[in-house]
Homo-oligomer: A and B are copies of this chain.
């Protein structure tokens, strides 16, 4: 197995040990991108990137994503002003996911609901959470304070 620190050609290197970034996008042309706070390491959000979003992120140092619901490239903060400055971008062993260390410019809230993180609800462990009725049980709100008013920032729906 090649040395993890060895530079050189990719001949024979597995995807896990490769020294070139050759991301594996999924069938829809995207891969998941996890954004964490560069200072605290908190997980802020998970979104998706296609090749263009990834290229623009690497070129500009500002996070760009692909909106699967709107079918368009999306610069984080283009509406809210809450841009994500990318301090570091990592890929994983299989090169089918990326991790971004970001500094939030403007509000520290990364979630479109105005919250710091998109992960503000805890699912109950144990019990009959079998999903047979389409539900996996109750959710409990934590760290759910709103740091901005989404209606003010994005307009009423």
Which A residues form the contact surface with B (CB < 8 A)? Answer: 1, 4-5, 16-23, 27-28, 32, 34, 36, 40-43, 45-46, 51, 54-55, 58-59, 61, 86, 88-94, 97-99, 111-113, 115, 118-127, 129-131, 134-142, 144, 146, 151
B21 touches A91 (CB 8 A): no
A-B CB proximity, top 8 nearest: A92-B118, A21-B136, A58-B129, A90-B119, A46-B97, A4-B144, A93-B118, A99-B119
A122 touches B90 (CB 8 A): yes
Question: 5 more A-B contacts (CB under 8 A) besides A17-B113, A22-B136?
Answer: A4-B120, A36-B43, A58-B124, A59-B126, A93-B118
Task: Count the copies.
Answer: 2
Which residue of B119, B139, B151 contacts A18 across the interface (Cβ within 8 Å)? B139
> Whose C-beta in chain B lies nearest to the C-beta of A86?
B125
A135 touches B45 (CB 8 A): no
Question: By DSSP majority rule, is chain A's interface helix, strand, loop, or mixed?
Answer: loop
Alpha-carbon distance A134/B40, docked complex (angstroms): 33
A19 touches B139 (CB 8 A): yes
Which B residues are in CB contact (< 8 Å) with A58? 123-127, 129, 136-137
Within the complex, the shortest CB–CB distance from A71 to chain B, in Å, comes to 14
User: Given A43-B34, A46-B34, A120-B90, does the pair A21, B59 have CB atoms closer than 8 Å?
Assistant: no
A16 touches B113 (CB 8 A): yes
